[in-house]
Amino acid sequence: MRILVTGGAGFIGSHLVDRLMELGNEVRVLDNLSAGSVDNLRKWMDSERFEFIHGDMREPKVVDEAVEDVEAVFHLAANPEVRIGAQSPELLYETNVLITYNLLNALKDSNVEYLVFTSSSTVYGDAEVIPTPEDYGPLEPISIYGGAKLGAEALISGYAHTFEFRALIFRLANIIGERANHGVIYDFINKLRRNPEELEILGDGTQRKSYLHVSDTVEGMLHVFEHFRKEDKTVDFYNLGNEDWITVREIAEIVSEEMGLHPKFLFTGGIDGGRGWKGDVKFMRLSIEKAKKTGWKPRLNSYEAVRRTVRELLATV
């Protein structure tokens, strides 16, 4: 296929590009490099099947040109930092909702058949049902980030039904792995490099969440996408995550062990019952039964994914 990947120079996006190229697709990447790096795509730059566009999706003309002559769009471009919402809600709006709106306006006048969007577990907020299925409701995000993702989901659904393209929406758990440049593991490694004696941990350490390695994420996305193409639904939703979960304290212990350190843990205590920050969902585990019915399941559980990620980041960061 001829595929556009927005945010394709970023963490998850570049791993997706790697797999799409390995499978023989023609891939175009649109990225403003605010969070990504061309180094993540270096090995494809000389390929005749690859094209890189350095552009900002807040500019409609850039998006209009990027969607020309492609059959599918994998929309991963976004500001990935949940915590920024309290300080800069307008930035999260621009880099999650506005860019999605610009993309959808471009799609309605194009020949694109499929849109694949990476949403987030944060759309569920503090779910009362765990593991949380795709049909859980009402959806009540507790962060600006989660609200922006849910807003983008709603726009995608409306546009797909109105302008007759098909949309697949993934609600992702915490995705980790090589090339990650934010998140708890990345933060812990950098903190311990600065001070091996102490490790500050946001919250009370009992926050418990599901983590999925980026390799399992990409395989899940592509597997479910092929399943989706064979069906006739206009819009569908799938959770991608793990069947287990792990606490922040346990992550800190794994990072310390892999670095050969024995730091003193300093818990900030957090807010609202031990959350790391305003809008932090304290307990998150998604039901992945729907994705499993298509034949996909993660190869690494949360603990294995965390340990592998620590080793990958220590080798490269």
Known catalytic residues are: 145
Strand partners, 271: 275
Q: Considering only CA atoms, which of 153, 135, 181 is closest in space to residue 75? A: 153
**Residue 40: C-alpha distances to residues 9, 177, 308 (Å):** 6, 13, 19
For residues 217 and 183, the answer to whether their CB atoms sit within 8 Å is no
φ/ψ bin of 269: left (φ > 0), alpha (ψ from -120 to 50), beta (otherwise)? left
* 3-state SS class at 29: strand
Distance (Å, rounded) from C-alpha 83 to C-alpha 89? Answer: 10
In this structure, are strands 2-6 and 72-75 parallel, antiparallel, or unpaired? parallel
Under a CB-based contact definition with an 8 Å cutoff, are residues 299 and 214 in contact? no
Element (H, E) at 91: helix 89-92
Strand duo 208-209 + 246-247: pairing? antiparallel
